[in-house]
């Protein structure tokens, strides 16, 4: 599935005139720092998959041994490195296309920004889920293991990622989706609810707005 439908394939939306839409159909080409889209996406998923794998490994080693054990320290460190690498890679791409630096008529950048926001949630939500499950198990066993660092570490990982998901959904995904729907009559993702949890969806078929 293409990340961004071609602007010329969409009719003008409710919030702009046909003349404004005609200008939007031929946006200026902006050059951004970073890898080409496919290479950049492939690198992101390498970081993401490694971070999830090492997070699970850290949850296992932390449960069987302790947070002071070298196996937990190694797996948790690699997990954090890969997770932050994927996070910053996406965040830097988003900052280059954010509303305070971009030309609002550049729909290509705006759709790419929305795609990156959805992808960021796709990284954080599974990370938060694994951390929550591990925290619950570790907290229940806290009196037996007497290892505060284990459940505290995964609690902090869960809090950061779940708060990030909520803020990203409100400030980026729903906001940009609503604006594209209003101004262009269509959003790259037809189901905003799925986008909020990091799942892409096909754009809705164009519907002509009638006064």
Contact 198, 117 (CB under 8 A): no
pLDDT over threshold 50, residue 207: no
Write out pLDDT tens, residues 123-165.
999 999 999 999 999 999 887 777 888 899 999 999 999 999 9
Rounded Cα gap, residues 22 and 201, in angstroms? 26
Q: Is 103 exposed, middle or buried (0-12, 13-18, 19+ CB in 10 A)?
A: exposed
Rounded Cα gap, residues 148 and 141, in angstroms? 10
Of 104 and 195, the structure prediction assigns the larger pLDDT to: 195
pLDDT over threshold 80, residue 113: yes
Banded pLDDT at 202 (limits 50, 70, 90):
confident
pLDDT at 88: 98
pLDDT at 209: 37
pLDDT at 154: 97
Q: Average pLDDT of 20-27? A: 61
List Cα–Cα distances, 18 to 83, 111, 159, in angstroms. 43, 20, 45
- Which DSSP symbol is given to 31? P
Write out pLDDT tens, residues 154-187.
999 999 999 999 999 999 999 998 888 887 777 7
Rounded Cα gap, residues 9 and 29, in angstroms? 18
Contact 47, 86 (CB under 8 A): yes
Domains in the chain: boundaries:
35-196
Of 22-36, 39-53, 193-207, the range with the lowest mean pLDDT is 22-36
Percent of the chain as helix, strand, coil, to the nearest 5: 70, 0, 30
Token code pair at residue 149: 């660092």
């Amino acid at each position: 599935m293409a990340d961004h439908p071609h602007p010329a394939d969409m009719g003008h939306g409710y919030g702009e005139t046909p003349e404004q839409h005609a200008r939007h159909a031929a946006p200026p080409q902006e050059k951004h720092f970073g890898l080409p889209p496919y290479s950049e996406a492939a690198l992101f998923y390498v970081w993401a998959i490694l971070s999830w794998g090492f997070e699970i490994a850290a949850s296992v080693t932390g449960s069987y041994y302790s947070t002071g054990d070298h196996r937990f320290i190694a797996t948790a460190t690699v997990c954090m490195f890969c997770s932050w690498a994927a996070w910053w890679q996406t965040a830097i791409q988003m900052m280059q296309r954010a509303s305070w630096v971009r030309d609002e008529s550049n729909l290509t950048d705006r759709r790419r920004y929305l795609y990156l926001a959805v992808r960021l949630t796709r990284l954080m939500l599974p990370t938060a889920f694994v951390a929550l499950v591990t925290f619950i198990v570790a907290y229940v066993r806290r009196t037996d293991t007497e290892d505060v660092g284990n459940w505290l570490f995964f609690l902090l990982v869960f809090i950061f990622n779940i708060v990030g998901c909520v803020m990203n959904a409100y400030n980026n995904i729903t906001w940009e989706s609503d604006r594209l729907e209003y101004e262009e009559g269509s959003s790259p993702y037809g189901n905003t609810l799925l986008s909020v949890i990091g799942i892409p969806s096909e754009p809705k078929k164009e519907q002509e707005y009638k006064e």
